[in-house]
Amino acid sequence: MTVTAAYYNTYSTVATIPNGNGCNRAQGFAVGSSYVYTAKCNDDESKQVIYRTKISDGSTTLMTNGKTSATYITSLGHANDMDTCTIGNKYHLFVATMKTGSESLVKLQYSGNTYTQLGGYTLKHNGQNVAISGAKKYAKDSSYIYFLFFVTDGTENCVGVYRGKVPLNSNSGVVNISHAFDLNIGNALVNGSTVPGLADYTRQGIGYIASTDQLLVPLTKKNVSIILVYDHASTATGTVSANSNLSFRITSSTYPTLFEIEGCDETNGKLYFNCNRKKSSSDIANDAVCFFKNYSI
């Protein structure tokens, strides 16, 4: 990574993300080489939608549920995080729903602008069903996809990071996860200084940069979003401190009511994110996919 700590208050909007089928809350985010994917849910989480945005020109399409021909799905819960994975030359999305049971992690297969749910997984820790708010793959081999997970208590709050492996060619079953390491959040240096009350910021989905083995953890409070960067994510143990040279904040005066980064991830050397943006409490028309200027991997 070629960047040192700086105040990244500049970004470019790739596309604004509409509120299809009443889904006005941007949630999970995943990136591919040419497209990025944003999940949104409605207020009671009874419906979810997925938007596909072409990176090169910002064109955005509301994806279609291949099983129902509708442009929404009802099984993704809070849809708090997503990741892409290619399996046998076919494209998939794995969605962290923040639910327990057989749809804790949902597996979708997609082609172009159409997706189909193949199944879901029950995630367990020490024999107990758990809900997850974050999920990003960090490795894949001929048998398994290896994930980093945030386990949730029903909110986005999380300090522990867990590891688990999903069988490459299964569509359902039990995935046993193990505690990997804890995040030191409250004492993190952001742009070279500690941030009062940082441990109380809302935690979101996660990002993972394979080329540098780094976990990205977005945090938000009102119109301030912070991204903490943790090194050696695939092998870390114990309590891990954020990289003080790489963790940074972005504060929005344009959207003073809310600038909430929901997820972030890297592709083609750029760091992309999706966000909820509000100029006022009634503003629900400015959610977006963006990338940080001057931040290169």
> What's the confidence (pLDDT) of residue 157?
54
> What's the confidence (pLDDT) of residue 154?
56
pLDDT tens readout for residues 217-274: 999 999 999 999 999 999 999 999 999 888 888 999 999 999 999 999 999 999 999 9
CA atoms of 192 and 54, how far apart (whole Å) = 35
Q: Where are the domains of the chain?
A: 11-296
pTM: 0.95
CB 277 within 8 A of CB 11: no
272: exposed, middle or buried (Cβ count in 10 Å: 0-12, 13-18, 19+)? buried
- The CATH number corresponding to 11-296 among 3.30.360.10, 1.10.10.10, 2.40.10.10, 2.115.10.20 equals 2.115.10.20
> What's the confidence (pLDDT) of residue 191?
82
175, two tokens = 């995935």
CB 140 within 8 A of CB 148: no
Query: Is the pLDDT reported for residue 147 higher than 50?
Result: yes
> What's the confidence (pLDDT) of residue 244?
87
Grade residue 193 by pLDDT with cuts at 50, 70 and 90: confident
Length, in residues, of the chain: 297
